[in-house]
Amino acid sequence: MKPAFQPKFGHAADEFQRYRPDYPAALYEHILARVPEQCRGRAMDLGAGTGIVTGHLVAHFREVLSVEPDAGMASKIAGHFPQAVIRNVTAEDCAQPPESVDLITIANALHWMDADRVLANAHSWLRPEAVLAVFDRPLPKATPEIDAIVLAELRGPWKPHRDPRLKRDRGWENQVRAAPGFRAVEETKFPNIISMSAQDYAGFWRSTSYASAYARTLADPEPYWGSLESRFAAAGAGAMISVDFSPTLILARKP
């Protein structure tokens, strides 16, 4: 029996929505260029989170299915993109008729999933010649001084709360390339350097599953977050922080 879904982000949905940066516009343009106008009936966004990608798809497809198992996260999609059809279910257990979808996106989420099952589902759901777009990014990088602060937290208080599946976040490319029934089209990295305040960068980490889980063990987490923000500000000498959030996109097509 497979384990039941355990929500990881719902308690931090507000922070996720506020502090998670969007993907670069060039990435969305690149994906849409591979889906002709006449083939934009239905898109599916798997592991949709608070709807960052869903929000870009609703303007281009007649129907967008936003698949998100965490009810707290899905509620954010409903509040901001009522035109999307929300499926509050895992991508593994989602039901969809075969050959009924023109584009499937999986953004920064495949490592949370049973990749074999989800990619098999995607192959079944996509119409012939339809596109699968999977994109992700490694942990963000800033200056060496600021990265050292993050590394100390990752090795210290956050470590016990870090899900083992996050160790797979560097293997998703091979999983997509090896998925049966797909023809790999291309792989592209998109530069995405974002200027953030110390508060916003602390907020990004506040939105992660592990840092937010650690904070929940504290009687009053606000002094901890304030300390993290102050340490970032000191390491950056009070200046804005340039953070590398560059994602890699793999496009595959169902023959």
pLDDT for 1 equals 44
Pairing assessment for the beta strands 85-87 and 183-189 based on DSSP bridges: unpaired
Contact 68, 105 (CB under 8 A): no
Query: Which of 75-79, 141-145, 156-160 is predicted with the least confidence, judged by mean pLDDT?
Result: 75-79
pLDDT tens figures, 80-92: 999 999 999 999 9
State the SS3 of the chain.
CCCCCCCCCHHHHHHHHHHCCCCCHHHHHHHHHCCCHHHCCEEEEECCCCCCCHHHHCCCCCEEEEECCCHHHHHHHHHHCCCCEEECCCCCCCCCCCCCEEEEEEECCHHHCCHHHHHHHHHHHEEEEEEEEEEECCCCECCHHHHHHHHHHHHCCCHHHCCHHHHHCCCHHHHHHCCCCCEEEEEEECCCEEEECHHHHHHHHHCCHHHHHHHCCCCCCHHHHHHHHHHHHHHCCCCCEEEECCCEEEEEECC
Which sequence spans correspond to the domains of the chain?
10-253
To the nearest whole number, what is the mean pLDDT of the chain? Answer: 94
User: What CATH class has 10-253?
Assistant: alpha beta
Any idea which residue has 């002709």 for tokens? 36
Q: What is the pTM of this model?
A: 0.94
Q: Return the exposure string of 87-109: e unless at least 16 CB atoms fall within 10 Å of the residue's CB, then b.
A: bbebbbebebeeebbbbbbbbbb
pLDDT tens figures, 5-50: 665 565 778 888 899 999 999 999 999 999 999 999 999 999 999 9
What's the one-letter identity of residue 52? I
